[in-house]
Amino acid sequence: MLCVFPNSRDRVNIEFTEMQDAEAMVTALDELFLHSKNIEQGKKLYRIKKLHWQPIDGIMVELSKLPELFKLMRKVDRIAVVTEKE
């Protein structure tokens, strides 16, 4: 599951815990865009607990949202990725 947590005015934390189907991916990306709407020179923290390949419908949702994801990337100055070792 992809969970989005606004941490402060300019920071969003995103946590991946398991695979996403299309409906869950749409909800998670909409939540990410909502919490990142007013960010300028922001920061993101990705915490990846279990990394799995996404189902094809989840990937298609991400591809359909690429223009919005690129706009979001322009608003962020720093990104940190934390993973768990298994």
Domains of the chain, residue spans: 2-83
CB 58 within 8 A of CB 21: yes
What's the Cα-to-Cα distance from 42 to each of 4, 13, 50, 85, rounded to whole Å?
15, 11, 25, 27
| pLDDT, position 86 | 65
Report the topology of domain 2-83: Transcription Regulator spoIIAA (3.30.750)
**pLDDT tens-digit readout, 28-86:** 888 888 888 888 889 988 888 877 777 788 788 888 989 998 998 888 999 899 988 76
Across the chain, the runs of DSSP E, i.e. the strands, are: 2-8, 11-16, 42-48, 76-83
